[in-house]
A and B are shown apart, each in its own frame.
Chain A
């Protein structure tokens, strides 16, 4: 899923200065799952902003709502009109949601409540880690299912650097060296031949370095 985290309240307060009617708009997609922008978080953000405004001696009217998703057009439909009743819509969706509202709801001023962080998984309650970089050209079949692009600090393609010690990354001893794990996994799976092959230089266009990416499936097009 897409993992995001709430921006500091003071930053959001700055963002909404001058806004008198605000809609805090949640998303029940990934951000709800990663406890950053679902119903509960919407309530917390709304409460905090009311308190922040009150402390500053200013009035604000805050309405809250949560959509099933903010990244599909049908769910945004009602917002096109409703959004105009507010000075701004503070979206607690990932960057996708914020962009999509901006794209599809003319006349609605949309602001981000979250920092969209990465594609990751829930390690344990309250902890998420990055597992995929969305680089658009998957090599996981060569690396025992573990991604060196997302999980190696230097995005190495050809084995661990000289800073790998005791299975730990030199960047941070709390970070495992993914190449050590790839090595161990491939050896264990008797795929260690893969470790001897040179992975050629990558084509990063698929990773977005070739401009905004688009995906088309002809058969599904209207």
Chain B
């Protein structure tokens, strides 16, 4: 079982690459992490495309609300995630497959938690990609 979970992290929230995390046995094998300069740069269609291109779950890990390097980047991301969730719902896709996390900078644990949470969401869900 390697459901693909795609995580969008900003430069500041994660300094660890997915391989290290996987090697340490901390995250599901299907995890892919895409690093962005700032989650505020994320477009709604990028999130939707991630699903279309094979992800079963997507999460965005941005800076903590008041600690964003670009002030409101992560808040912006959260709003877009909210809108994308709405579209998923309209498409009959469980919006829980997309989640926003505000994580403290540079720590590894929140990313691990986020990945595990998404993995949990998928545990008894059917694949979008039949």
Contacts and interface: CB of A to CB of B under 8 A. Distances in A.
- Direct touching of A and B (C-beta under 8 Å): yes
Contacts of B107: none
B96 interface: no
Interface residues of B, number: 15
B45 A55 contact: no
Given A9-B91, A51-B93, A57 B52 contact: no
Contacts of A8: 90
Given A40-B43, A44-B44, A51 B52 contact: yes
Contacts of B45: 40, 43-44, 46-48
Sorting the interface of chain A by its residue count into under 10, 10 to 19, 20 to 34 or 35 or more gives 10 to 19
B129 interface: yes
A122 interface: no
Contacts of A44: 43-45, 48, 87
A47 B48 contact: yes
A52 interface: yes
B88 to A, nearest CB: 8
B51 interface: yes
B92 A10 contact: yes
B43 A54 contact: no
A185 interface: no
A118 to B, nearest CB: 21
Interface string A31-48: 000000000100110111
A211 B52 CA distance: 46
A52 B44 contact: no
A17 to B, nearest CB: 14
B82 to A, nearest CB: 12
A135 interface: no
A10 B43 contact: no
A50 B45 CA distance: 11
Given A40-B43, A43-B43, A57-B130, A51 B48 contact: yes
Interface of B: 43-45, 48-49, 51-52, 87, 90-93, 128-130
The 8 A-B pairs at the shortest CB distance, nearest first, are namely A47-B45, A9-B90, A47-B48, A43-B45, A51-B52, A52-B91, A44-B45, A44-B44
